[in-house]
């Protein structure tokens, strides 16, 4: 890429980079939305998910430290995002653990890093590596645009069956983790886009943001697919062999 | 004569049949695709429509809006919104960060407004959490 894209072109390119690899379309997400999972599968999901999202404020803190003082709005966005994850109200990971416990696992099992797949470990490591080593705008593209901005589209499909008494039958309180992130990550995602659109101010930086957004989407897709392959396929069979939902 | 629409790629053209959110206080209108539903605060942030906000989590109430038209196109109030707004909901007030629209809606707000108060359940929980001494050797997580 040799020319700077306009804001609209750049946003479209970032969105395109995720097309076809969104985690909402991975096998585990689809089985979830179609009502095929059991509580034990959600328990395994929570044990893995904790180790991906639990350190989110840590990832953001590395980006914060790499962000120049002149980019005050970007620093403030990162700080606010960290604050919301950790201390704005109930700690978000506590809401995740609350859901996990209803699904039959324990806080100790959730916090135990030996209970995760190798792919989850890879996702967590990738998040740390990108946050520590990349230019702040590239890291923001990876973690906020490529990963966090997908959350509303995933949970808006997954929450309705969770609280449907005829599907999974959880209560509103038990599923607050999902409801909270549907709305808050709309705003985080949008602010993330704005930071990336503003500070990726060379063709080279724009291209790096597009590429890493694609990598982030690939990472989240692989993580979600691995949950199905590891925990659900032994019960239901390979996803490819599943009847197509109507 | 109708006013021109402002929105993505739609500056200075005449109104179409697309649904739109009218941010009356800042005199902005944003169209969106039919069949989509849009988060009101996200739309305001994306298009610089000036709605004040702070937490984006249904806690502070800074982004409260009065629905002038189109309330039937809004999502049902979520739990945090019900807790935060209480009887204000019956007066037609919503929290933009918690609300999705699937059709045309008009909203107004007070441009100087701040959070509702600090005595909410969440505010009290936070104060208790911050002011409580940490037991020795115990992590807060
Ligand atoms: S911005 Fe705080 S309640 Fe919506």
Written as six digits, the tokens of A146 are 């490529």
Among B44, B45, B52, B53, say which to mutate for ligand 1: greatest number of ligand atoms within 8 Å of CB. B53
Provide the residue range defining the domain that includes B117: 5-125
Compute the distance between CA of residue A172 and CA of residue A183 in angstroms, rounded to an integer: 15
Written as six digits, the tokens of A152 are 């509303």
Q: Would B37 be classed as within a structural domain?
A: yes
Of chain B, the percentage scoring pLDDT greater than 90 comes to 52
Compute the distance between CA of residue B109 and CA of residue B67 in angstroms, rounded to an integer: 9
- Chain A residues lying within 8 Å of B41, measured CB to CB: 186-187
Q: Would A217 be classed as within a structural domain?
A: yes
**Could you identify the atom of ligand 1 that is nearest to the CA of residue B59?**
3
Mutating which of A183, A185, A194 best tests the B interface, going by the most B Cβ atoms within 10 A? A183
Per-residue confidence in pLDDT tens, chain A, 246 aa: 689 999 999 999 999 999 988 988 899 999 999 999 999 999 999 999 999 999 999 999 999 999 999 999 999 999 998 988 888 778 889 999 999 999 999 999 999 999 999 999 999 999 999 999 999 999 999 999 999 998 888 898 899 999 999 999 999 999 999 998 898 889 999 999 999 999 999 999 999 999 999 999 999 999 999 999 999 999 998 887 777 665
B135 pLDDT above the threshold of 70: no
Confidence of residue B13 (pLDDT cuts 50, 70, 90): very low
Confidence of residue B141 (pLDDT cuts 50, 70, 90): very low
B139 pLDDT above the threshold of 60: no
Look at the alpha carbons of A69, A58, A210, A185 in this order and tell me if their dihedral is positive or negative.
negative
CATH number at residue B34: 3.10.20.30
Mean pLDDT of B108-114: 88
A93, A184, A194 ranked by CB distance to B56: nearest:
A184
Overall pTM > 0.90: no
Report the mean per-residue pLDDT for chain A: 94
User: For residue B95, which phi and psi values (nearest 5 degrees)?
Assistant: -100, 120
DSSP chain A: --SPPPHHHHHHHHHHHHTT--GGGSHHHHHHHTT---HHHHHHHHHHHHHHHTTHHHHHHHHHHHS-TT-HHHHHHHHHHHHHHHTSSS-HHHHHHHHHHHTT--HHHHH-GGGS-HHHHHHHHHHHHHHHHS-HHHHHIIIIIIIGGGHHHHHHHHHHHHH-TTTT---TTTTHHHHHHHHHHHHHHHHHHHHHHHH--SHHHHHHHHHHHHHHHHHHHHHHHHHIIIIIHHHH--GGGSPPP-
pLDDT score recorded for residue B4: 37
CATH number at residue A227: 1.20.910.10
pLDDT score recorded for residue B125: 63
Q: Would A246 be classed as within a structural domain?
A: no
pLDDT score recorded for residue B117: 67
Other C-beta atoms lying within 10 Å of the C-beta of residue A210: 23
**Which residue has 């890493």 as its token pair?**
A212
Of chain B, the percentage scoring pLDDT greater than 70 comes to 72
Report the mean per-residue pLDDT for chain B: 81
B100 pLDDT above the threshold of 90: yes
Q: Would B135 be classed as within a structural domain?
A: no
| Helices A118-133 + A56-66 axis angle, to 10 | 20
Provide the residue range defining the domain that includes A87: 7-232
**Could you identify the atom of ligand 1 that is nearest to the CA of residue B97?**
4
Tens of pLDDT along B46-91?
999 999 998 888 988 999 999 999 999 999 998 889 988 988 999 9
Q: Would A245 be classed as within a structural domain?
A: no
Q: Report which of A27, A36, A34 is spatially closest to residue A235, judged by C-alpha positions.
A: A36
A162-198: buried (b, 16+ CB within 10 Å) or exposed (e) per residue? Answer: bbeeebbebeeebbbbbbbbbbbbbbbbbbbbbbbbe
Contact check, Cβ <8 Å, A90/B125: yes
pLDDT score recorded for residue B124: 64
**Could you identify the atom of ligand 1 that is nearest to the CA of residue A187?**
1
Question: Does B55 sit in the ligand 1 pocket, CB within 6 Å?
Answer: yes
Other C-beta atoms lying within 10 Å of the C-beta of residue A222: 16
Written as six digits, the tokens of B87 are 């009887």
Q: Would A243 be classed as within a structural domain?
A: no
**Which residues lie across from B20 on neighbouring strands?**
B31
B6 pLDDT above the threshold of 50: no
pLDDT score recorded for residue A72: 95
DSSP B15-58: --SS-EEEEGGGTEEEE--TT--EEHHHHHHHTT-----S-SSS
Give how many domains chain A has, as a whole number.
1
Q: Would A135 be classed as within a structural domain?
A: yes
pLDDT score recorded for residue B118: 55
Question: Does the beta carbon of A191 lie under 8 angstroms from any beta carbon of chain B?
Answer: yes
Look at the alpha carbons of A220, A222, A224, A227 in this order and tell me if their dihedral is positive or negative.
negative
Compute the distance between CA of residue A25 and CA of residue B55 in angstroms, rounded to an integer: 30
- Chain A residues lying within 8 Å of B58, measured CB to CB: 180, 183
pLDDT score recorded for residue B136: 57
pLDDT score recorded for residue A84: 85
pLDDT score recorded for residue B16: 75
Q: Which residue of B has its CA nearest to A176?
A: B79
Beta-carbon contacts of A88 under 8 Å, excluding residues fewer than 6 positions away, are B55, B57, B59, B122, B126
Compute the distance between CA of residue B101 and CA of residue B98 in angstroms, rounded to an integer: 10
The DSSP output letter for B101 is: E
Q: Which residue of B has its CA nearest to A186?
A: B42
Q: Would A238 be classed as within a structural domain?
A: no
Q: Would A79 be classed as within a structural domain?
A: yes
Higher pLDDT, B141 or A127: A127
Tens of pLDDT along A102-149?
999 999 999 999 999 999 999 999 999 999 999 999 999 999 999 999
Q: Would B138 be classed as within a structural domain?
A: no
pLDDT score recorded for residue B112: 85
Q: Would B45 be classed as within a structural domain?
A: yes
In angstroms, how far is the first alpha carbon of chain B from the final one? 59
Q: Would B44 be classed as within a structural domain?
A: yes
Give how many domains chain B has, as a whole number.
1
Q: Would B130 be classed as within a structural domain?
A: no
Task: Give the CA count within 13 Å in the CB-facing half-sphere of A241.
Answer: 9
Compute the distance between CA of residue A88 and CA of residue A165 in angstroms, rounded to an integer: 31
Q: Would A58 be classed as within a structural domain?
A: yes
The DSSP output letter for B60 is: S
B18 pLDDT above the threshold of 60: yes
Q: Would B133 be classed as within a structural domain?
A: no
């Amino acid at each position: 890429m040799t020319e700077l894209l306009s804001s609209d072109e750049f946003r479209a390119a970032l969105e395109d980079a995720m097309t076809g690899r969104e985690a909402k379309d991975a096998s585990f997400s689809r089985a979830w939305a179609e009502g095929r999972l059991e509580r034990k599968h959600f328990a395994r999901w929570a044990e893995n998910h904790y180790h991906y999202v639990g350190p989110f404020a840590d990832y953001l803190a590395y980006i914060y430290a790499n962000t120049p003082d002149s980019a005050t709005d970007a620093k403030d966005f990162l700080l606010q995002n960290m604050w919301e994850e950790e201390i704005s109200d109930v700690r978000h990971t506590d809401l995740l653990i609350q859901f996990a416990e209803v699904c039959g696992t324990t806080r100790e099992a959730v916090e135990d890093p030996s209970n995760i797949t190798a792919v989850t470990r890879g996702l967590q490591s990738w998040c740390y590596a990108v946050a520590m080593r990349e230019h702040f705008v590239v890291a923001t593209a990876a973690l906020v645009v490529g990963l966090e901005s997908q959350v509303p589209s995933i949970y808006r499909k997954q929450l309705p069956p969770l609280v449907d008494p005829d599907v999974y039958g959880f209560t509103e309180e038990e599923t607050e983790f999902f409801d909270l992130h549907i709305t808050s990550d709309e705003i985080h995602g949008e602010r993330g886009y704005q930071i990336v659109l503003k500070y990726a101010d060379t063709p080279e930086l724009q291209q790096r943001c597009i590429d890493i957004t694609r990598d982030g989407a690939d990472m989240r897709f692989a993580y979600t697919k691995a949950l199905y392959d590891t925990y659900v396929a032994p019960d239901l069979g390979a996803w490819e062999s599943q009847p197509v939902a109507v | 004569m109708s006013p021109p629409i402002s929105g993505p790629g739609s500056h200075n053209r005449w109104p179409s049949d697309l649904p739109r959110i009218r941010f009356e206080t800042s005199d902005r209108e944003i169209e969106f695709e039919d069949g989509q539903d849009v988060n009101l605060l996200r739309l305001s942030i994306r298009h610089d429509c000036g709605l004040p906000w702070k937490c984006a989590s249904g806690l502070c109430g800074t982004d409260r809006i009065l629905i002038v038209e189109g309330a039937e196109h809004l999502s049902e109030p979520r739990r945090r919104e019900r807790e935060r707004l209480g009887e204000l909901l019956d007066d037609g007030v919503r929290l933009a960060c918690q609300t999705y629209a699937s059709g045309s809606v008009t909203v107004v707000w007070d441009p100087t407004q701040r959070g509702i108060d600090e005595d909410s359940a969440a505010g009290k929980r936070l104060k208790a959490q911050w002011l409580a001494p940490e037991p020795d050797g115990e992590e807060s997580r």
